[in-house]
Amino acid sequence: MESSPDIGHLQAILLVGGQGTRLRPLTLGTPKPLLPTAGVPFLAHQLARAKSFGVERIVFATSYRASMFREAFGDGSAFGLRLEYMTEETPLGTGGAIRNAAQALTCGPDDPVLVLNGDILSGHDIHAQVRLHQSRGAAVTLHLTEVEDPSRFGCVPTDENGRVTAFLEKTPYPVTNRINAGCYVFRRSVIDTIPEGRVVSVERETFPGLIEAGELVLGYIETAYWLDVGTPAAYIQGSRDLVLGRLRSPAMPGPCGEYLALPDSIVSPEAKVSGGSVVGHGAIVEAGATVSGSILLDGCVVGPGATVIDSVVGPGARVEGGAVLSDVVVGDNAVVGARNELLAGARLWPGVVLPESSVRFSSDV
């Protein structure tokens, strides 16, 4: 007889061990999953959404700056969740991290366990994914999404019954536009078959091994909103989409709109802020400034007549009058002097001061 999932008792593992190197300098002092996104730490959106689907208990699989996660979320009571924290002394890969974190699970061997990646924004139906997993008696069920350019990802072909047939590495000629979207439902006992205490990749070892052994690995295909926020451009896009309401989140600290101004921020009535921007706690946008599609973190200042487009300005940083930023990351407490023009992926490291200038920069400084 087929069983149906008791969603109300669903437990989850949240993978948050990565160093976020592609997002430096923002991640030099803060793990990627804790970066402010639409006014709250990125993981707040995942936790609130998991709670909305009935998840009650989540185990954090931590490694890089592990103590900061407990400092941020504590026991989880603010989200109506029970949170546990398991730390890898040395990074163990996705599979090894799941195996290590599973020590803190309390569910039975046949129960479903939700596994979430800490750098994914997704609007897909977790209930539907778990129901499919349980109704088919799968070993693992993966959320698959469709992308325009699958050559940038490994692709995941399935047969007519939804069974995953292979995990293919990046190739210029992908056989499908469906990719691994980074949300899995495991049968608890399957996690116990992952080797303990060593580096294991679920994509390269666990999933292919299950397929080869004849286990049922299913693809749950849904093309709802999905975004990997691993790069500065994607991080900004995710925050922008949340503020504009393109993806709904129970963790939003204010209503959706053209921009989100957090408490104690100051936006001059003569400034123009739009495009899903966030103005952080204590941040200041002065008269004549233009801010579009950007993240202004706590305590930063955008001076008079400055322009900030599709960029991140770090905590305590200053963008002086007349400066122009487009597709730029400014580190903590850095200063962009008046009339500088930073473009095309430039990254200003924490504490760096650019004197007043009219020079264009388009690289790390």
Query: Tell me, what DSSP letter sits at residue 203?
Result: I
Q: Which residues are catalytic?
A: 170
Rounded to whole angstroms, how far apart are CA atoms 351 and 335? 7
Residues 164, 283, single domain; the answer is no
- Residue 338 lies in domain: 258-361
Residue 91 lies in a domain: yes
Residues 79, 219, single domain; the answer is yes
**Which of 35-39, 74-78, 144-148 is most confident?**
35-39
Of 160, 164, 157, 112, the C-alpha closest to 135 is: 112
Domain total of the chain: 2
Residues 192, 270, single domain; the answer is no
Residue 2 lies in a domain: no
Q: Are 279 and 264 contacting, i.e. CB atoms less than 8 angstroms apart?
A: no
Residues 203, 279, single domain; the answer is no
Q: Tell me the pLDDT tens digit for each residue of 45-81.
A: 999 999 989 898 999 998 778 788 898 898 988 888 9
In a 13 Å sphere around the CA of 330, the CA atoms on its Cβ side amount to 37
Residue 241 lies in a domain: no
Q: Tell me the pLDDT tens digit for each residue of 239-290.
A: 999 999 999 999 999 888 999 999 999 999 999 999 999 999 999 999 999 9
The helix or strand, by DSSP H or E, that contains position 188, with its residue range, turns out to be: helix 188-191
Residues 222, 349, single domain; the answer is no
- From residue 119, give the alpha-carbon distance in Å to each of 84, 122, 277: 19, 10, 20
Residue 72 lies in a domain: yes
CATH number, domain with residue 137: 3.90.550.10
Residues 218, 69, single domain; the answer is yes
93 backbone φψ class: left, alpha, beta (φ>0; ψ -120 to 50): left
The helix or strand, by DSSP H or E, that contains position 47, with its residue range, turns out to be: helix 42-52
CATH number, domain with residue 337: 2.160.10.10
pTM: 0.88
Residues 177, 311, single domain; the answer is no
Rounded to whole angstroms, how far apart are CA atoms 323 and 336? 7
Q: Tell which of 207, 228, 249 closes a domain.
A: 228
Three-state DSSP class for 49?
Answer: helix
Specify the pLDDT at position 361: 59
